[in-house]
Structure 1
């Protein structure tokens, strides 16, 4: 799954169980719902005093006494407002067949925000069902609790039948609604009923055993209005028109699913259109979206690439795709990037729809990698599933890693397997260098509450998971890695595993490979990378040939109070070059070792961690640093492009950690005047961005901007030349990215001619709104530059274009650019729009606030806005949301003063009682970063000002 989802409290109604009979049809809603709601408000929890002995329903985990076999579910979403309640609602009925594993007189099944109107229990195959003693909904743990008058018998099967009513809310979780408009005269509002079950929201759609190890077969039926189409995980079997409670509807039934987890269940009712793969293909592939988007061909690229990527993974896993169809659907409102529901993958529109006339090459790469990520899950995650959420990193880290392999197979000229270093490895290191980081794998008993589960969907899980698995694949070699995966998947298909099961199969593959020698078992090597947080900095002294490692911390004075089973030592796989030649790989297994081949003399130079295949940073003695910097200044292409980026990133982070002098890090940017490749420029831009965050309100800003102006001017002129004065686009994928860097950095630092270029393009568009001639690659940076240089007229025009945009990726570019204005009242107005879902969709609100906070003019405005509206944001936009953690990080990343620290501490104190949900860890990290920033600025400001002043001349 892509990051980000919301959990709402919109329907905070506690259900009451009112019957024990079975009825043939779903209950009519208009009267029942209002009656049930009135009754439910009176009954919250029958337990007024806590029990001294903890009752089973007070635990968050299911007991091991029952296991589901199959579900038969019928749901009827209403896509119009209910006249009695003023709400969008759905009704449902569910049969779950379960097996009694241990004799018990208690049934616990998850149920959240549903009003149950009917309940019955039946014995199967001759078993007699006990009568129900009492039943209730336990709100904190989200259980339907059913106490029986006698025991269920071990080894026997029973059927629990429920009928229920729920709200089809706009909270982006469970069974929810998404809205869009179609047509122009007048625009007509359309409603989509769709789902997002991961991690724990299937229980909002129907009562279920909502844990990943509780796999079952699902038989789905959807009732829906004529003219709409229904989709689910399985292929639709039949659609017939029926009359239910006096209403004419369509009833669509679906093939039963394979044995699978509740979080992978998906169903959608919409008026969407689709395109599909040619008849006769082994797997039916369909791309679904708004009819206008399909008519405009926005689904064509996804359809073109899905088949080849699916075939790549079939070969990679040596395993056929286990279903007959693969539906992929683009939703107007979707909190994550995408979700890997088996057979029905759901996406944000920006992650699936592509229009060559208005989508950039970055948009295309995002679509290819997200599709690849989700298709990778069809096997790794869906076919074989983690036992519990503490191993989420294995699912998401793996899919994040191999998504680059799948995208590379679909677009081999892009070299996206190199870009993983920028997008995953460096990003993960920036978080994992904090003392408030966390290990990849947690103890199962430490992850029980929904908020704790949601908190795991973070950079560590996705990006560090990808980085360490990439490292593992590298030292095993990709063929050995893939062979181990294949036996793992074949052995555990349709079941659940823990990470040790994967290590075992990779070890088997390694043991059967002649010539592959490891210093220890896969288990011994990898457990050090997943069971302790952080990573090492490896220091090489080329004068003596000695090597040592230590835990790398961005703030070396921070207190690490999380114990490590390995005392923060790692078994480090090292690839290295000497004077440009590959050397024999080396394993650093202890804190300190001597490796004489790394000893140098004269002008010899050493560079370790080639291609950044290992998840660690590298430091050198001052002599080797000087030789590397000299080489960068005289012959930078003698160092591989990935490692030019690595040198910059390592140096800047070592400087932030006070391991090397900050001026050494700044010296790694001097060669940029001659650099034309994207990866070094992007890395330098990101690291200098930290300097801008720290100093854009101080006297360092002027000399710093002048220096970067000097460095980027040759790059700006280079692209002006090779694009024939900006009239064409470079052919190479990464050159297209670097052209954007050239314009963005040049305009922000005042390079002559840049602002005139972007404002001229923007004015031309304002004069002819129906004819936007700005190339899609350049739009975001051009919009931002022109809006920053302009005023209300430019902003209002961009806002109108944003509201009229029919292509989500174009709307996203404008949403970002609107935050670039330097006019405070416009930024304040934009912030207030974030509280109105009619103006800014809920899925986009936190992103918009973070964009505004990234603007030096908007920083304090965004911070004041969040503090003032915290209760509303937390409760109505979801404390369980992934982007909620991103909100905390985004609004505090510039904090570097005592005043800001005190404000942050006060904010935490004021909201301590309510808590921060899935953003709890992000709050701790914000405190740690702020303190580290304060210390760094105090220690380095004077030297940095001097260096920029001297080198900008």
Structure 2
């Protein structure tokens, strides 16, 4: 059942309307999940779709033959250590590997050609054998398609027959990548190296020739030949391992479960592991030897088993693979859910007591929970094609909140996590250039188009819609619906699947519901920042009451607008549960020009005496749009003074903690303490600036850092922003010398806070040197510089000058989003349009389209509202108390 809450007399009728609206559309997702489970059961190989796709040069494989199993042999020649010694000839690093692959195939349509994928490899000695007759078939030629398909076409002298069993053998050789993609090289100490794979979504084909589509599942038996004194890890446990001569080690792994190519994984390193025996399972957590020895994996070890237990109980399906987790110094994504070998950036798995923030425990917990959720959503049950990737990422994001809440109840952060996902989804889905959760498959063909789907819609909207589903259906029915084997429960048998799925997954956007308590009318339309239409999807009469509050628990994926009298009543007596959501709705309705900006600003009145986290988080996040629009204009000064006055009570509420470098026990209060410092210092509250600079200078002069780990990132930032070259150089020296991962990350962020343009320019230049800034950190540094009003223009110029380098690892979309957040002039729009036509945008294409649309919205909004906002701030916000004006 839905959560219990208080509501007005009229709310019951409104809730009935909304329940009809969302219930039918959402329950279809649950059925859809179970349907996909039945279609993509991991035991048998995948079946051929009922409609065969067009042959090349289309981007999809034809499906004439399907892989059943692979035997992959790979020898890597790199050295894990290169030690420079006097009078000793050191080996040069060797960035090559070679091997062979044998694929067992089933022919499902008569053909004389075999199409599979290969990228950046030399492939030779192609051999095809009929396993039924033990006869070899002649290979006429091998053709590499020089386009985005990455097709390797094997042309045969005779046709493969339907139902026949065949094998394809290929030798291959390639280079180890230095750009965190495919099979790549990573360095973690001076002269120490490892190799690892990063294959999602389409990079398995760059490691070995394969049928690199998610539905073409198969079993993989991997053999790795690597230098002795190194350890090879893969999806499964080793079956045997032996020395070859004096220098090489042979490791053959057990066959995997039937799985997609993007989940194939292995590493070769000198890492060590912390083992834990959890029930009947051994879980190994690998890291650099010094990190393992120092106990930095202990927290991850302590929670992994709890989270795994929760999922096994919740889904009623046991986890069958072995489970290794590894903290890698370099990894493109934050983490990757490879079946049996889950990979993380070091900061996402390692926790350093006394150095890492308490809040990092929550981040590690959510990340582990997300990746382990994928062992069911993604690995066991896999989408047929990448246009449905939200079934992986949306479910994993949603389930991570549930897992952390149940397995680690002391954290008490699920509501905050879900609210954050909701607001991220709202922001991303408010533009006409958004995309559906499930776009048409024909629009998702190339690697760039696939990568572009790994965005806020897929993760956050997917999670938000599932949160709404659970709230509407009730926890028991929702749980029963997503457990395997319950697709035919009484709650789901009356659903028109096609109709309901189209509503939430095949369309962009979300509704805004407008309610007029005076007339009793209510209607729905799509919410858009740039909407000028008058169309309404449905209307309802007879809704009356002295006041109405809709979406009480903030679980619905829709916004609500009211008549002015109802807004006035709500804003004069804001209920705690909805303070954050009312602020968010008011500000975003003002951005969409559906309510006045005075009404939105009026919703911040009560902040002067507010100490709860969610209202402050919502207010500061939404006011950030106003700041971005006006921080280069005369509006900014008075606005800072207003915020300085509003935050005084909150800052003083935490002052004793802050001055004594301690933090509250409650996680949400810890977040709000950080919020108080950030808002107070950034808006010039003298006592906050004195505190931050004093603590930082004490560290600089004494050499002892007494700042609490929770507060370091914020205090470092504010002290560097208020300081000059001396403070920046001190932080840079510490960044270079520290081996503490959490400290390194916090210093990296803080260095972007300086207001000295030449220092920001220098820091941007450092991102081009991988010895100073790791490739995986380049985008975060540039993005953080762009968030600084002194650095936004610098970052925009820098990414244009160095686009090919900084947009590697598909980071272009993130960078565009960050550097264009302040664009609000015709000149900036013209520059962006020029950028769109002159640069190779690749996977950032949609991000640039979104940025151009948002810039046009910003231009119109600023032109219409600048004078109103200026009047408000100049005259002390006297108009805020009259929302009818």
Over 3 Å counting, the alpha-carbon distance change for 1:420 and 1:55 in structure 2 is closer
Cα distance in 1 between the residues matched to 2:353 and 2:279:
26
Correspondence for 1:193 among 192, 195, 205: 195
Cα distance in 1 between the residues matched to 2:98 and 2:699:
49
SS at the partner of 1:129? strand
**Cα deviation digits, residues 481-532 of structure 1 (max 9, x gap):** 2212122xx5xxxxxxxxxxxxxx65635148xxxxx9x6565444311111
Mapping of residues 734-813 of structure 1, within 5 Å: 734-769=668-703, 771-813=704-746
2:873 is aligned with 1:940: no
Correspondence for 1:344 among 341, 349, 371: 341
1:558: how far off?
Answer: 9.0
Number of residue pairs matched by the alignment:
817
Give 1:105's aligned residue: 112
Over 3 Å counting, the alpha-carbon distance change for 1:595 and 1:470 in structure 2 is farther
Give 1:951's aligned residue: 876
1:415: how far off?
Answer: 2.6
Give 1:527's aligned residue: 502
2:177 is aligned with 1:169: yes
SS at the partner of 1:192? strand
TM-score (norm 1): 0.83
SS at the partner of 1:610? coil
**Unaligned ranges ≥5, structure 1:** 1-53, 182-187, 491-504, 513-517, 560-567, 570-589, 633-638
Give 2:354's aligned residue: 357
Give 1:650's aligned residue: 585
Cα distance in 1 between the residues matched to 2:833 and 2:335:
35
Cα distance in 2 between the residues matched to 1:551 and 1:107:
47
2:512 is aligned with 1:537: yes
Asked if the contact 2:659/2:691 (under 8 Å) is kept, the reply is no
**Cα deviation digits, residues 891-924 of structure 1 (max 9, x gap):** 111001112111112222222xxx3111100000
2:833 is aligned with 1:905: yes
**Cα deviation digits, residues 748-795 of structure 1 (max 9, x gap):** 1111211111111111222344x3221111011111011111111211
2:848 is aligned with 1:926: no
Over 3 Å counting, the alpha-carbon distance change for 1:660 and 1:724 in structure 2 is closer
Give 1:702's aligned residue: 637
Give 1:241's aligned residue: 243
SS at the partner of 2:382? strand
1:57: how far off?
Answer: 3.9
Give 1:151's aligned residue: 159
Mapping of residues 520-669 of structure 1, within 5 Å: 521=496, 524-557=499-532, 591-596=538-543, 599-601=544-546, 605-632=547-574, 639-641=575-577, 643-669=578-604
**Cα deviation digits, residues 664-687 of structure 1 (max 9, x gap):** 000111111111111110111111
Over 3 Å counting, the alpha-carbon distance change for 1:111 and 1:558 in structure 2 is farther
Over 3 Å counting, the alpha-carbon distance change for 1:87 and 1:228 in structure 2 is closer
Asked if the contact 2:221/2:256 (under 8 Å) is kept, the reply is yes
Mapping of residues 826-837 of structure 1, within 5 Å: 826-837=759-770
**Cα deviation digits, residues 916-940 of structure 1 (max 9, x gap):** 1111000001101111111111111
Cα distance in 1 between the residues matched to 2:788 and 2:491:
50
**Cα deviation digits, residues 526-574 of structure 1 (max 9, x gap):** 4311111000100111123321111100122499xxxxxxxx98xxxxx
Mapping of residues 710-725 of structure 1, within 5 Å: 710-721=645-656, 723=657, 725=659
1:117: how far off?
Answer: 3.9
Cα distance in 2 between the residues matched to 1:480 and 1:810:
45
1:87: how far off?
Answer: 5.3
Give 2:231's aligned residue: 229
Asked if the contact 1:57/1:145 (under 8 Å) is kept, the reply is no
1:471: how far off?
Answer: 1.1
SS at the partner of 2:693? helix
Give 1:464's aligned residue: 461
Cα distance in 2 between the residues matched to 1:531 and 1:792:
52
SS at the partner of 2:425? helix
More moved, 681-690 vs 550-559: 550-559
Correspondence for 1:431 among 420, 428, 438: 428
**Unaligned ranges ≥5, structure 2:** 1-52, 83-89, 879-885
Asked if the contact 2:651/2:677 (under 8 Å) is kept, the reply is yes
**Cα deviation digits, residues 379-412 of structure 1 (max 9, x gap):** 1111111111111011110101111001112321
SS at the partner of 2:755? coil
Cα distance in 2 between the residues matched to 1:55 and 1:377:
31
Give 2:76's aligned residue: 77
Cα distance in 1 between the residues matched to 2:91 and 2:285:
37
More moved, 475-484 vs 451-460: 475-484
Cα distance in 2 between the residues matched to 1:814 and 1:418:
29
1:724: how far off?
Answer: 7.6
Asked if the contact 1:719/1:726 (under 8 Å) is kept, the reply is no
**Cα deviation digits, residues 40-65 of structure 1 (max 9, x gap):** xxxxxxxxxxxxxx994422111111
Give 1:286's aligned residue: 284
Cα distance in 1 between the residues matched to 2:778 and 2:215:
34
Cα distance in 2 between the residues matched to 1:511 and 1:889:
40
**Cα deviation digits, residues 175-214 of structure 1 (max 9, x gap):** 1111111xxxxxx321111011110000111111111111
Over 3 Å counting, the alpha-carbon distance change for 1:201 and 1:509 in structure 2 is farther
